[in-house]
Amino acid sequence: MDQVKVITFNPKYVNSYIELNRQWIEKYFKIEPMDIAQLENPYENVLKHGEIFFLLENEVAKGTCAMIEHGVGCYELAKMAVDPISRGKGYGDILMEEAIKWARTKGANKVMLLSNTILEPAITLYKKHGFKTTHLGPHPDYERCNIEMELAL
């Protein structure tokens, strides 16, 4: 039986955070300046204002996501990725639940995220966890983003 758990940031898994995210971004889009900042310097651009989570299966990182503070009471769910061979196991649900639980412990009253509507499985996951669309159309931070969603806590 596989041992699955979610942990907060451990530098041992930083390369998994980078590679899992590069895989999905490069498959559908292109790496943008904000991606480079968050992937190449996670200490300054994520951890200083949030947390990075890793879903481990038998101590191997199979998924990751970040929560980045976005003003008082708000966190952005960002850089969520699951290894393609591990999809369909509910790992996205587990990561999402842990990230939301963590935001609540930090006193957040909402979690927001940016995505693209072509990523239908991701949008379905977000809706399943209660996220509602707050904006459709271009976004100033990412060329690829055309949907903003929010979850009230």
User: What is the per-residue pLDDT across 78-108, written as a single tens digit (0 to 9) for each?
Assistant: 999 999 999 999 999 999 999 999 999 999 9
What is the domain range of residue 16? 4-109
Q: Per residue in 61-83, pLDDT tens? A: 999 999 999 989 999 999 999 99
Q: Per-residue pLDDT for 5 more than 70? A: yes
**Does residue 93 lie within any of the structural domains?**
yes
How many distinct structural domains can be found in the chain?
Answer: 1
pLDDT band of residue 2 (cuts 50, 70, 90) is confident
**Does residue 144 lie within any of the structural domains?**
no
Strands (E), the chain: 4-8, 50-57, 60-69, 74-82, 110-115, 132-136, 147-152
Pair 145, 114: CB distance under 8 Å? yes
CATH number at 52 reads 3.40.630.30
**Does residue 75 lie within any of the structural domains?**
yes
Q: Per residue in 112-134, pLDDT tens? A: 999 999 999 999 999 999 999 99
**Does residue 14 lie within any of the structural domains?**
yes
pLDDT of residue 141: 85
- For 93, the enclosing helix (H) or strand (E) is helix 91-105
